[in-house]
Amino acid sequence: MCRRLRPRRVVSVPIILLTAALCSPPTWRSLPAATGHHFAMDSRQTLQVEDTTSEENDSEVSRVKDALKYFDANFFNDSKVKEMMKGAKEFNIPVFRANRRLVASEDGGLHNPSVLLFNSSWGSNEAPYNNRKFNYSPLYGIKRPSSEEDIAFMSVLELGELIRTKQITSCELTDIFLRRLKRYNHVLEAVISFTEELARSQARKADELLAQGTYLGPLHGIPYGLKDIIAVPHYRTTWGSKTFKDQILDIEAWVYKRLKSAGAVLVAKLVSGSLAYDDIWFGGRTRNPWNIAEFSTGSSAGPAASTSAGMVPFAIGSETAGSITYPAARCGVTSLRPTFGTVGRSGVMSISESLDKLGPFCRSATDCALIIDAIRGKDPDDPSSRNVPLEDPFQVDIKKLTVGYLEDAEMEVVHVLSSKGVNCVPFKLNYTVESVQAILNFTMDVDMLSHFDKWQRSGHDDEYEAQDQWPVELRRARLIPAVDYLQAQRVRGKLIKEVRESFTVDAFIGNATDWERVCMGNLVGMPVIVVPTGFKSIEDPPKGGTWRRTTITTGIYAPPDHDHIALALAMAYQSATNHHKQRPPIDDLGPNDLVPIPGMKLLVHDFAAMD
Write the pLDDT tens digit of every residue in 465-477: 998 889 989 998 8
For residues 193 and 99, membership in a common domain is answered with no
Residue type, 566: A
Q: What is the CA radius of gyration of the chain?
A: 26
pLDDT confidence of 9, banded at 50, 70, 90? very low
Q: What is the pLDDT of residue 594?
A: 53
Contact residues for 277 (Cβ-Cβ < 8 A; gap 6+): 298, 299, 466, 469, 470
What's the confidence (pLDDT) of residue 387? Answer: 94
pLDDT at 589: 58
* Contact assessment for residue 224 and residue 266, using Cβ atoms and an 8 Å cutoff: yes
**Quick check: is 271 in a domain?**
yes
Does residue 350 surpass a pLDDT of 50?
yes
Q: 541 pLDDT band (50/70/90 cuts)?
A: confident
Same domain, 221 and 90: no
Q: What CATH number is associated with residue 196? A: 3.90.1300.10
513 inside domain: yes
- Average pLDDT of the chain is 87
Per-residue pLDDT, 98 = 80
Residue 99 shares a structural domain with residue 157: no
Residue 157 shares a structural domain with residue 59: no
Range in 230-239, 482-491, 536-545 with the lowest mean pLDDT: 536-545
Residues 479 and 425 grouped into a single domain: yes
Q: Is the pLDDT of residue 598 over 60?
A: no
Domain count, the chain: 2
Query: Does residue 39 have a pLDDT over 50?
Result: no
Distance of CA 332 to the CA centre of its chain: 18
- In this model, does residue 602 exceed pLDDT 90? no
Is residue 405 domain-shared with residue 492, that is, in the same domain?
yes
Q: Determine, yes or no, domain membership for 560.
A: yes
Query: Higher model confidence: residue 228 or residue 594?
Result: 228
Q: Is the pLDDT of residue 201 over 80?
A: yes
Q: Is pLDDT above 70 for 58?
A: yes
Closest CA to 485 of 446, 519, 451, 435: 446
Lowest mean pLDDT segment, chosen from 147-156, 287-296, 359-368, 550-559: 287-296
| Pair 510, 555: CB distance under 8 Å | yes
Same-domain status, 275 and 337: yes
Least confident of 87-91, 117-121, 132-136: 87-91
Q: List the domain range (segments joined by +) for residue 88.
A: 7-103
Instruction: Say yes or no: 169 and 257 in one domain.
Output: yes
| Active site members | 227, 299, 323
Is 260 part of any domain?
A: yes
- Indicate if 442 and 501 belong to the same structural domain: yes
pLDDT for the residue 88: 83
pLDDT per position as a tens digit, 268-283: 999 999 999 999 999 9
Outline where 376-435 has alpha helix (H).
411-419
On whether both 519 and 457 belong to a single domain, the answer is yes
Q: Has residue 3 got a pLDDT over 70?
A: no
Say yes or no: 431 and 554 in one domain: yes
Q: Which of 106-110, 409-413, 441-445, 520-524 has the lowest mean pLDDT?
A: 106-110
Whether 199 maps to a domain, the answer reads yes
Same domain, 227 and 338: yes
Burial code (b: 16+ CB inside 10 Å, e: under 16) for 313-333 equals: bbbbbbbbbbbbbbbbbbbbb
Residue 36: the pLDDT is 34
d(CA 403, CA 557): 10
CA–CA distances in Å: residue 311 to residues 179, 260, 415 = 8, 19, 33
pLDDT over 70, % of the chain: 85
Sequence-distant (≥ 6) Cβ neighbours of residue 334 within 8 angstroms: 328, 361, 362, 363, 364, 365, 367, 368, 529, 530, 531, 532, 570, 574, 580
pLDDT of residue 128: 59
Closest CA to 557 of 525, 599, 590, 594: 525
Q: Look at residue 487 and tell me whether its pLDDT is greater than 50.
A: yes
588 domain residue, yes or no:
no
State yes or no: pLDDT of 246 exceeds 50.
Answer: yes
The pLDDT of residue 499: 98
Residue 219 lies in a domain: yes
Q: Is residue 108 part of a domain?
A: no
Distance in angstroms (rounded) separating the CA atoms of residues 391 and 374: 14
Three-state SS at 116: coil
Q: Which residues contact 539 (CB under 8 A, 6 or more apart)?
A: 550
